Structure 1
Amino acid sequence: MISRDSVKYFQVAQGVWGMKLVFVNIYMVANRKGFPKRWVLIDAGPKGCADKIIAMAESIFGKGAHPSAIVLTHGHSDHTGSLPELLKHWNVPVYAHPLEIPFLTGRSAYPPADPAVGGGLMTLLSPLFRREPLNLGRRIKAIDVDRGIPELPEWKVIHTPGHSPGHVSLFLPFNTTLIAGDAFLTTKPESAIYALKNIKKLSGPPKYMTIDWTDAKKSVKKLAALQPRIAATGHGPVMRGRELQTALTKLAENFERQAVPSEGRYVRRPALATQNGIVYVPPFKASKKMILASVLIGTAAGLLVARQIQKAVS
């Protein structure tokens, strides 16, 4: 952990830094020598964190520093909550995959969260998370996956849908660093204890907000095939080396058993999306087991943790 000017952040790799904001990570990526002297912000964290993100940028790059662009792995509220405030301070473009743009231009809301998947307090709170779209207007730019992002010439953009239709990951072949967003995670996202304390555990995407499990499996297999030596994810600590590669290979090979919930709204039928947004959402069916678990876990968890997390994602 680096602490400078009262700002705490961590080094991921050469030219890559991260910061944990409540239970979500954001990243700053600078080009290596020999390339244009630019840096880019990856994701924008939960609401209310703009000042911390700006302070981190100025701690690393100097007073008044601003990115050349902001790149979104996806548009869920915990990854875009501080984006409106940041764009008041920084006049920069925002990149997202074409299938994610409807959720960032006011055209479509995300599908409802899936509290039937179980696993902890975060799952129970998931229906409270904002799913209404932002409207970034002309600030938003569509990512060309084949050409990549001009401001990050060395990094490859990989379309990794499942958690959301236009989810992307970023990969640097030079040192096999992977910024995976929520395609897979390095903590257990359904558990508030794991998420808030940053406890390490390689996992699939958040069960309560993943809308296509077939695509999610394909995305994890695609990322595992890259054999990254460093993985920085949307939630959880950085994982490296053999520990990462062994766990990621195991997840790809045993995805249905390790990652897919036994029941849930999107387990058997996915939500469907086009470039205009969501066009189909399967019906929700709550089992008696899920209802009982919700009451028990919700009572035991208490209101203090719930209030803190709800504030971060609303």
Structure 2
Amino acid sequence: MTAALAASWSATMRYAREAADHFWCAVEDRCPGTLPEREAAVFLAAFGRLVSGGDDPAGRAALSAVLGRACRRYRLLPHLLTVEAALVATVSRHARWTPELAGAWVGAARRATAAVSRAAEQAGDGPPWWPAQVVDHDRAADGIAVVTARPWRRLAFRPGQALPVCTERRPGRWRWYSPANAPRPDGTVELHVRAVAAVSRTLVHRVRPGDRIWLGPPRSIGLTLDPASNADLLLVAGGTGLAPLRALVEQVAALGRRGYRTDDVDALLHRLVYELGERTRLLDDTRGENDRIKRALRAWQAEVREADGARAPEAVPDSPSRPGPDGRRAAVR
């Protein structure tokens, strides 16, 4: 029933605004004064996405983190049965409803609220998400963007932490990113994004300055530093994994330790981003050349088989090596 859940949720999100209004009214009718109306659309998109099962483990963890904080913030934990019922009633208005689909949604919603309850136990106090405006979008390299956003209210985080991010172009889809900067006086947050999946491709190719995104509660991932420590650092990363390390180096430079200067750090990291783009381009060229070589070798093998009167194997990659015209053996893998 996973496919049916996903399809019915997709049908519901075609009417996102109407669905959010119905969901909020259902919650407000039974639990007045809990979920703010202005937050209903973000909450519903995240909750419906979690229940419909359309995410990988990291995505579900991000959804649970923001929903757990939201239920804690808006005092919804004692009313999760009402939240479940409101979601099921909302989906039933927009999907082709059957008893089997209704049962699947009820069961999936129950499992999702259990996960949200566990996440709420670990969530701290504070907002579940921070609306932010994209103020700069720099295509640093092919398929890579540096996205700078300014939250509407200050977001406190520590260098090396990760936070869930969602764009209004992909409602309900939250992904983890580590800010590439230490906290700034203007409150802006810089994200380094490589276009890989739906959310990252949207952030790289479609998001523009002026767009709105949401930033979730920061979470430690084992990279934060003790500000009082003066121990040496060895920082190793590749690709956009440089982002949290840049934030750590900025933290160290701001503390005035080890002789680092922020301008030097910025120059180094911008050079690394450029090199990353160049290496990505070269890797793509190399893969293209490898594909051409493979096609040529397969054509040569076909000619050898035809000359030998041999029957071609069903799958070339799994076939044993065959002798070439010069007696040597070769196979394409």
What TM-score does the superposition give when structure 2 sets the normalisation length?
0.28
| Larger of the two Rg values belongs to structure | 2
Higher strand share: 1
What TM-score does the superposition give when structure 1 sets the normalisation length?
0.30
Higher helix share: 2
